Structure 1
Protein backbone atom coordinates (compact mmCIF):
# COMPACT_ATOMS: atom_id res chain seq x y z
CA UNK A 1 0.00 0.00 0.00
CA UNK A 2 1.36 3.43 -0.94
CA UNK A 3 2.01 5.77 1.98
CA UNK A 4 1.46 9.50 1.53
CA UNK A 5 4.63 11.12 2.89
CA UNK A 6 3.34 14.71 2.82
CA UNK A 7 1.38 14.69 6.13
CA UNK A 8 4.36 13.16 7.92
CA UNK A 9 6.73 15.75 6.49
CA UNK A 10 4.40 18.62 7.39
CA UNK A 11 3.94 17.25 10.91
CA UNK A 12 7.70 17.00 11.37
CA UNK A 13 8.10 20.56 10.08
CA UNK A 14 5.70 21.89 12.70
CA UNK A 15 7.22 19.66 15.39
CA UNK A 16 10.65 21.03 14.58
CA UNK A 17 9.44 24.63 14.83
CA UNK A 18 7.75 23.94 18.18
CA UNK A 19 10.88 22.19 19.46
CA UNK A 20 13.02 25.15 18.41
CA UNK A 21 10.67 27.49 20.27
CA UNK A 22 10.70 25.29 23.36
CA UNK A 23 14.49 25.15 23.40
CA UNK A 24 14.77 28.92 22.96
CA UNK A 25 12.36 29.58 25.83
CA UNK A 26 14.02 27.05 28.16
CA UNK A 27 17.57 28.23 27.47
CA UNK A 28 18.62 30.32 30.50
CA UNK A 29 19.58 33.92 29.70
CA UNK A 30 23.03 35.23 30.59
CA UNK A 31 24.63 38.67 30.44
CA UNK A 32 28.27 37.67 30.83
CA UNK A 33 30.66 34.74 30.52
CA UNK A 34 30.59 34.36 34.30
CA UNK A 35 26.79 33.99 34.23
CA UNK A 36 27.10 31.37 31.48
CA UNK A 37 29.57 29.35 33.55
CA UNK A 38 27.27 29.47 36.58
CA UNK A 39 24.31 28.40 34.46
CA UNK A 40 26.17 25.38 33.08
CA UNK A 41 27.42 24.44 36.55
CA UNK A 42 24.13 24.93 38.39
CA UNK A 43 21.64 24.03 35.65
CA UNK A 44 23.52 21.38 33.73
CA UNK A 45 20.42 19.26 33.28
CA UNK A 46 18.48 22.11 31.68
CA UNK A 47 21.49 22.93 29.48
CA UNK A 48 21.66 19.33 28.19
CA UNK A 49 17.88 19.22 27.74
CA UNK A 50 17.98 22.34 25.56
CA UNK A 51 20.84 20.87 23.52
CA UNK A 52 18.80 17.71 22.90
CA UNK A 53 15.72 19.76 21.95
CA UNK A 54 17.75 21.85 19.50
CA UNK A 55 19.14 18.71 17.87
CA UNK A 56 15.63 17.23 17.59
CA UNK A 57 14.40 20.49 16.10
CA UNK A 58 17.14 20.43 13.46
CA UNK A 59 16.29 16.87 12.43
CA UNK A 60 12.53 17.49 12.27
CA UNK A 61 12.88 20.75 10.35
CA UNK A 62 15.17 19.05 7.82
CA UNK A 63 12.68 16.23 7.27
CA UNK A 64 9.88 18.78 6.97
CA UNK A 65 11.51 20.84 4.20
CA UNK A 66 9.99 18.76 1.34
CA UNK A 67 6.47 19.70 2.49
CA UNK A 68 7.31 23.38 1.96
CA UNK A 69 8.33 22.82 -1.65
CA UNK A 70 4.92 21.30 -2.49
CA UNK A 71 3.43 24.81 -2.18
CA UNK A 72 5.25 25.95 -5.32
CA UNK A 73 4.51 25.11 -8.95
CA UNK A 74 6.00 27.70 -11.27
CA UNK A 75 5.77 31.02 -9.45
CA UNK A 76 8.57 31.32 -6.94
CA UNK A 77 9.78 27.74 -7.28
CA UNK A 78 13.41 28.58 -8.02
CA UNK A 79 13.52 31.02 -5.13
CA UNK A 80 11.88 28.41 -2.92
CA UNK A 81 14.58 25.88 -3.81
CA UNK A 82 17.27 28.43 -2.96
CA UNK A 83 15.56 29.22 0.34
CA UNK A 84 15.37 25.49 1.15
CA UNK A 85 19.12 25.10 0.60
CA UNK A 86 19.92 28.14 2.75
CA UNK A 87 17.47 27.04 5.44
CA UNK A 88 19.06 23.61 5.51
CA UNK A 89 22.40 25.28 6.19
CA UNK A 90 20.75 26.99 9.16
CA UNK A 91 19.20 23.72 10.36
CA UNK A 92 22.56 21.94 10.18
CA UNK A 93 24.03 24.84 12.13
CA UNK A 94 21.36 24.33 14.78
CA UNK A 95 22.42 20.70 15.17
CA UNK A 96 26.06 21.80 15.34
CA UNK A 97 25.22 24.35 18.01
CA UNK A 98 23.52 21.64 20.05
CA UNK A 99 26.69 19.55 19.89
CA UNK A 100 28.75 22.59 20.94
CA UNK A 101 26.50 23.01 23.97
CA UNK A 102 27.15 19.43 25.05
CA UNK A 103 30.89 19.80 24.49
CA UNK A 104 30.96 23.10 26.35
CA UNK A 105 29.22 21.56 29.37
CA UNK A 106 31.81 18.77 29.44
CA UNK A 107 34.61 21.35 29.44
CA UNK A 108 33.01 23.30 32.29
CA UNK A 109 32.23 20.24 34.41
CA UNK A 110 35.82 19.00 34.13
CA UNK A 111 37.19 22.47 35.02
CA UNK A 112 38.96 22.63 31.68
CA UNK A 113 38.00 26.28 31.17
CA UNK A 114 37.55 29.21 33.53
CA UNK A 115 36.33 32.79 33.03
CA UNK A 116 39.39 33.91 31.08
CA UNK A 117 39.38 30.76 28.99
CA UNK A 118 35.72 31.25 28.14
CA UNK A 119 36.46 34.79 26.95
CA UNK A 120 39.19 33.42 24.68
CA UNK A 121 36.82 30.80 23.27
CA UNK A 122 34.09 33.39 22.65
CA UNK A 123 36.56 35.54 20.70
CA UNK A 124 37.88 32.69 18.57
CA UNK A 125 37.54 33.64 14.89
CA UNK A 126 36.53 30.17 13.70
CA UNK A 127 33.77 29.85 16.28
CA UNK A 128 32.44 33.33 15.55
CA UNK A 129 32.34 32.58 11.81
CA UNK A 130 30.37 29.40 12.48
CA UNK A 131 27.89 31.12 14.79
CA UNK A 132 27.34 34.14 12.56
CA UNK A 133 27.10 31.92 9.48
CA UNK A 134 24.53 29.72 11.20
CA UNK A 135 22.39 32.68 12.27
CA UNK A 136 22.70 34.39 8.88
CA UNK A 137 21.77 31.18 7.04
CA UNK A 138 18.71 30.62 9.20
CA UNK A 139 17.31 34.15 8.88
CA UNK A 140 18.28 34.59 5.23
CA UNK A 141 16.60 31.30 4.33
CA UNK A 142 13.49 32.34 6.23
CA UNK A 143 13.42 35.69 4.42
CA UNK A 144 13.82 34.04 1.01
CA UNK A 145 11.02 31.62 1.87
CA UNK A 146 8.74 34.52 2.83
CA UNK A 147 9.45 36.26 -0.48
CA UNK A 148 8.87 33.03 -2.44
CA UNK A 149 5.52 32.50 -0.68
CA UNK A 150 4.47 36.04 -1.50
CA UNK A 151 5.25 35.39 -5.16
CA UNK A 152 3.56 31.97 -5.27
CA UNK A 153 0.42 33.18 -3.46
CA UNK A 154 -0.49 29.64 -2.39
CA UNK A 155 -0.87 30.58 1.29
CA UNK A 156 -2.65 33.51 2.96
CA UNK A 157 -0.62 36.71 2.95
CA UNK A 158 -0.22 36.67 6.74
CA UNK A 159 2.02 33.58 6.56
CA UNK A 160 4.96 35.17 4.69
CA UNK A 161 4.40 38.47 6.52
CA UNK A 162 4.79 36.75 9.89
CA UNK A 163 7.97 35.01 8.71
CA UNK A 164 9.32 38.32 7.43
CA UNK A 165 8.44 40.02 10.72
CA UNK A 166 10.40 37.36 12.60
CA UNK A 167 13.44 38.11 10.44
CA UNK A 168 13.02 41.83 11.17
CA UNK A 169 13.17 41.23 14.92
CA UNK A 170 16.87 40.40 14.64
CA UNK A 171 17.56 44.11 14.13
CA UNK A 172 15.84 45.09 17.39
CA UNK A 173 16.77 42.08 19.52
CA UNK A 174 19.50 44.07 21.26
CA UNK A 175 17.03 46.54 22.76
CA UNK A 176 14.33 44.04 23.70
CA UNK A 177 14.04 42.51 27.18
CA UNK A 178 15.23 38.91 27.37
CA UNK A 179 11.70 37.52 27.62
CA UNK A 180 10.52 39.56 24.61
CA UNK A 181 13.51 38.45 22.55
CA UNK A 182 12.64 34.83 23.27
CA UNK A 183 8.94 35.40 22.55
CA UNK A 184 9.69 36.46 18.97
CA UNK A 185 10.38 32.81 18.10
CA UNK A 186 6.60 32.31 18.22
CA UNK A 187 6.37 34.33 15.00
CA UNK A 188 8.45 31.63 13.32
CA UNK A 189 6.20 28.94 14.78
CA UNK A 190 3.07 30.73 13.53
CA UNK A 191 4.46 31.08 10.01
CA UNK A 192 5.60 27.46 9.85
CA UNK A 193 2.22 26.32 11.19
CA UNK A 194 0.55 28.17 8.31
CA UNK A 195 2.89 26.53 5.82
CA UNK A 196 2.31 23.05 7.27
CA UNK A 197 -1.48 23.42 7.29
CA UNK A 198 -1.73 24.69 3.73
CA UNK A 199 0.67 22.08 2.38
CA UNK A 200 -1.59 19.24 3.55
CA UNK A 201 -5.13 20.67 3.36
CA UNK A 202 -6.53 20.16 -0.16
CA UNK A 203 -9.27 22.71 0.46
CA UNK A 204 -6.72 25.36 1.40
CA UNK A 205 -4.50 24.85 -1.65
CA UNK A 206 -5.73 27.68 -3.83
CA UNK A 207 -4.38 30.90 -5.28
CA UNK A 208 -4.49 33.83 -2.88
CA UNK A 209 -4.56 37.37 -4.21
Structure 2
Protein backbone atom coordinates (compact mmCIF):
# COMPACT_ATOMS: atom_id res chain seq x y z
CA UNK A 1 0.00 0.00 0.00
CA UNK A 2 1.24 3.50 -0.85
CA UNK A 3 2.36 5.81 1.95
CA UNK A 4 -0.36 8.31 1.05
CA UNK A 5 -3.05 5.63 1.37
CA UNK A 6 -1.76 4.56 4.78
CA UNK A 7 -1.83 8.13 6.06
CA UNK A 8 -5.33 8.62 4.67
CA UNK A 9 -6.43 5.47 6.49
CA UNK A 10 -4.79 6.64 9.71
CA UNK A 11 -6.62 9.96 9.56
CA UNK A 12 -9.89 8.19 8.86
CA UNK A 13 -9.42 6.02 11.97
CA UNK A 14 -8.62 9.11 14.03
CA UNK A 15 -11.82 10.73 12.78
CA UNK A 16 -13.82 7.64 13.79
CA UNK A 17 -12.40 7.83 17.30
CA UNK A 18 -13.28 11.52 17.62
CA UNK A 19 -16.79 11.00 16.24
CA UNK A 20 -17.50 8.05 18.50
CA UNK A 21 -16.16 9.78 21.61
CA UNK A 22 -18.29 12.84 20.98
CA UNK A 23 -21.39 10.76 20.38
CA UNK A 24 -21.01 8.97 23.73
CA UNK A 25 -19.90 11.95 25.79
CA UNK A 26 -16.20 11.14 26.09
CA UNK A 27 -13.17 13.28 25.36
CA UNK A 28 -11.22 11.97 22.35
CA UNK A 29 -8.03 12.39 24.39
CA UNK A 30 -9.21 9.55 26.64
CA UNK A 31 -8.64 7.02 23.84
CA UNK A 32 -5.15 6.10 22.65
CA UNK A 33 -4.80 4.68 19.15
CA UNK A 34 -2.45 1.70 19.08
CA UNK A 35 -1.31 0.97 15.53
CA UNK A 36 -1.03 -2.82 15.20
CA UNK A 37 1.96 -3.16 12.94
CA UNK A 38 2.61 -6.91 12.89
CA UNK A 39 3.78 -8.18 9.47
CA UNK A 40 4.19 -4.58 8.25
CA UNK A 41 7.58 -3.37 7.01
CA UNK A 42 9.51 -0.80 9.01
CA UNK A 43 9.01 1.84 6.34
CA UNK A 44 5.23 1.68 6.87
CA UNK A 45 5.73 2.27 10.60
CA UNK A 46 8.02 5.20 9.86
CA UNK A 47 5.40 6.76 7.60
CA UNK A 48 2.74 6.47 10.28
CA UNK A 49 5.11 7.82 12.94
CA UNK A 50 5.83 10.84 10.73
CA UNK A 51 2.06 11.46 10.69
CA UNK A 52 2.03 11.68 14.48
CA UNK A 53 1.42 8.09 15.59
CA UNK A 54 3.51 7.13 18.63
CA UNK A 55 2.17 3.80 19.96
CA UNK A 56 2.76 0.60 17.97
CA UNK A 57 1.66 -2.95 18.80
CA UNK A 58 3.57 -6.06 17.78
CA UNK A 59 2.59 -9.73 18.11
CA UNK A 60 5.75 -11.51 17.01
CA UNK A 61 8.89 -10.98 19.06
CA UNK A 62 11.68 -11.44 16.53
CA UNK A 63 9.88 -9.37 13.93
CA UNK A 64 9.39 -6.63 16.51
CA UNK A 65 13.04 -6.67 17.56
CA UNK A 66 14.12 -6.32 13.93
CA UNK A 67 11.84 -3.30 13.48
CA UNK A 68 13.07 -1.75 16.71
CA UNK A 69 16.61 -1.95 15.35
CA UNK A 70 15.55 -0.42 12.02
CA UNK A 71 13.63 2.37 13.74
CA UNK A 72 15.99 3.01 16.65
CA UNK A 73 16.15 6.70 15.75
CA UNK A 74 12.44 7.14 16.54
CA UNK A 75 11.09 7.41 20.13
CA UNK A 76 8.36 4.85 19.50
CA UNK A 77 6.32 3.45 22.38
CA UNK A 78 6.40 -0.31 21.79
CA UNK A 79 3.54 -2.54 22.96
CA UNK A 80 3.77 -6.34 22.93
CA UNK A 81 0.25 -7.66 22.33
CA UNK A 82 0.77 -11.29 21.33
CA UNK A 83 0.90 -14.52 23.34
CA UNK A 84 4.04 -14.72 25.44
CA UNK A 85 5.92 -17.89 26.30
CA UNK A 86 8.32 -18.13 29.22
CA UNK A 87 11.39 -18.29 26.97
CA UNK A 88 10.52 -14.92 25.41
CA UNK A 89 9.99 -12.89 28.58
CA UNK A 90 13.54 -11.52 28.89
CA UNK A 91 13.54 -9.92 25.44
CA UNK A 92 10.10 -8.42 26.05
CA UNK A 93 11.14 -7.11 29.47
CA UNK A 94 14.20 -5.48 27.91
CA UNK A 95 12.68 -3.96 24.76
CA UNK A 96 9.05 -2.95 25.33
CA UNK A 97 7.18 -0.24 27.21
CA UNK A 98 3.90 -2.18 27.52
CA UNK A 99 2.71 -5.76 27.42
CA UNK A 100 -1.01 -6.43 26.99
CA UNK A 101 -1.08 -10.20 27.12
CA UNK A 102 -0.14 -11.31 30.65
CA UNK A 103 -2.40 -14.19 31.64
CA UNK A 104 -0.35 -16.10 34.23
CA UNK A 105 1.51 -15.08 37.37
CA UNK A 106 4.61 -16.99 36.27
CA UNK A 107 4.95 -14.79 33.20
CA UNK A 108 4.53 -11.63 35.28
CA UNK A 109 7.14 -12.81 37.78
CA UNK A 110 9.63 -13.43 35.01
CA UNK A 111 8.97 -10.04 33.44
CA UNK A 112 9.51 -8.31 36.78
CA UNK A 113 12.71 -10.21 37.50
CA UNK A 114 14.09 -9.58 34.01
CA UNK A 115 13.19 -5.89 33.67
CA UNK A 116 16.48 -3.97 33.59
CA UNK A 117 17.01 -1.87 36.71
CA UNK A 118 17.75 1.28 34.73
CA UNK A 119 14.39 1.11 32.91
CA UNK A 120 11.06 2.34 34.30
CA UNK A 121 8.52 -0.27 35.41
CA UNK A 122 6.94 -2.27 32.59
CA UNK A 123 3.29 -1.37 32.00
CA UNK A 124 1.11 -4.47 32.28
CA UNK A 125 -2.39 -5.34 31.10
CA UNK A 126 -3.90 -8.65 32.10
CA UNK A 127 -5.47 -10.49 29.18
CA UNK A 128 -8.99 -11.73 29.92
CA UNK A 129 -10.64 -14.55 27.96
CA UNK A 130 -13.96 -12.81 28.25
CA UNK A 131 -15.86 -15.35 26.11
CA UNK A 132 -14.21 -18.48 27.54
CA UNK A 133 -12.97 -19.54 24.11
CA UNK A 134 -10.66 -22.55 24.17
CA UNK A 135 -8.69 -21.16 21.23
CA UNK A 136 -7.96 -17.85 22.97
CA UNK A 137 -5.38 -16.92 25.56
CA UNK A 138 -6.31 -15.09 28.72
CA UNK A 139 -7.36 -15.55 32.31
CA UNK A 140 -10.97 -16.41 33.10
CA UNK A 141 -12.92 -13.41 34.44
CA UNK A 142 -13.29 -15.12 37.82
CA UNK A 143 -9.50 -15.43 38.10
CA UNK A 144 -8.67 -11.81 37.35
CA UNK A 145 -8.96 -10.44 40.89
CA UNK A 146 -6.48 -12.89 42.40
CA UNK A 147 -4.07 -12.56 39.47
CA UNK A 148 -4.19 -8.75 39.65
CA UNK A 149 -3.51 -8.76 43.40
CA UNK A 150 -0.45 -10.94 42.90
CA UNK A 151 0.89 -8.97 39.92
CA UNK A 152 0.44 -5.70 41.84
CA UNK A 153 3.04 -6.90 44.35
CA UNK A 154 5.81 -7.33 41.77
CA UNK A 155 8.40 -4.56 42.01
CA UNK A 156 9.28 -3.81 38.38
CA UNK A 157 5.78 -3.81 36.89
CA UNK A 158 2.96 -1.27 36.79
CA UNK A 159 -0.44 -2.91 36.63
CA UNK A 160 -2.38 -0.64 34.28
CA UNK A 161 -5.52 -2.58 33.42
CA UNK A 162 -7.09 -5.24 31.26
CA UNK A 163 -7.07 -6.42 27.65
CA UNK A 164 -9.52 -8.60 25.75
CA UNK A 165 -10.16 -9.92 22.24
CA UNK A 166 -13.84 -10.91 22.21
CA UNK A 167 -15.22 -13.27 19.61
CA UNK A 168 -16.68 -11.49 16.56
CA UNK A 169 -20.33 -10.52 16.86
CA UNK A 170 -22.87 -9.61 14.22
CA UNK A 171 -24.03 -6.19 15.43
CA UNK A 172 -23.08 -3.31 17.69
CA UNK A 173 -25.46 -4.30 20.49
CA UNK A 174 -23.91 -7.76 20.70
CA UNK A 175 -20.40 -6.30 20.49
CA UNK A 176 -21.06 -4.13 23.53
CA UNK A 177 -21.85 -7.10 25.80
CA UNK A 178 -18.28 -8.38 26.38
CA UNK A 179 -16.89 -4.86 26.43
CA UNK A 180 -19.36 -3.89 29.15
CA UNK A 181 -18.25 -6.96 31.11
CA UNK A 182 -14.64 -5.81 30.78
CA UNK A 183 -15.56 -2.34 31.99
CA UNK A 184 -17.23 -3.88 35.03
CA UNK A 185 -14.16 -6.04 35.72
CA UNK A 186 -11.89 -2.99 35.66
CA UNK A 187 -14.18 -1.13 38.07
CA UNK A 188 -14.02 -4.11 40.42
CA UNK A 189 -10.22 -4.07 40.26
CA UNK A 190 -10.12 -0.34 40.95
CA UNK A 191 -12.12 -0.91 44.12
CA UNK A 192 -10.03 -3.94 45.07
CA UNK A 193 -6.64 -2.27 44.44
CA UNK A 194 -7.12 1.47 44.98
CA UNK A 195 -3.36 2.12 45.14
CA UNK A 196 -2.74 0.82 41.61
CA UNK A 197 -2.83 3.00 38.43
CA UNK A 198 -5.65 0.95 36.91
CA UNK A 199 -6.59 3.29 34.09
CA UNK A 200 -6.45 1.12 30.95
CA UNK A 201 -8.96 -0.94 29.00
CA UNK A 202 -7.21 -2.25 25.89
CA UNK A 203 -10.05 -3.46 23.70
CA UNK A 204 -11.59 -2.82 20.33
CA UNK A 205 -10.19 -3.48 16.86
CA UNK A 206 -11.05 -2.41 13.34
CA UNK A 207 -14.46 -4.11 13.29
CA UNK A 208 -15.71 -3.26 16.79
CA UNK A 209 -13.83 -0.14 17.83
CA UNK A 210 -16.91 2.02 18.33
CA UNK A 211 -18.62 -0.49 20.62
CA UNK A 212 -15.44 -0.72 22.70
CA UNK A 213 -15.14 3.05 23.05
CA UNK A 214 -18.79 3.29 24.10
CA UNK A 215 -17.95 0.83 26.91
CA UNK A 216 -14.91 2.69 28.20
CA UNK A 217 -11.97 1.52 26.07
CA UNK A 218 -8.93 3.71 26.65
CA UNK A 219 -6.76 2.01 24.02
CA UNK A 220 -7.97 0.60 20.70
CA UNK A 221 -5.77 -1.73 18.65
CA UNK A 222 -6.14 -1.03 14.93
CA UNK A 223 -4.20 -2.78 12.18
CA UNK A 224 -6.20 -3.51 9.01
CA UNK A 225 -7.98 -0.17 8.88
CA UNK A 226 -4.62 1.64 8.95
CA UNK A 227 -2.25 -0.59 6.99
CA UNK A 228 -4.74 -2.46 4.80
CA UNK A 229 -5.46 -6.18 4.64
CA UNK A 230 -2.47 -8.45 5.07
CA UNK A 231 -1.36 -10.17 1.92
**TM-score range normalised by the length of the shorter chain:** under 0.3
Could you say which structure has the greater relative contact order, defined with CA pairs below 8 angstroms and 6 or more residues apart? 1
Q: More strand by proportion, 1 or 2?
A: 2
The structure having more radius of gyration, on CA atoms, is 1
Higher helix proportion (structure 1 or 2): 1
TM-score by length of 2: 0.24
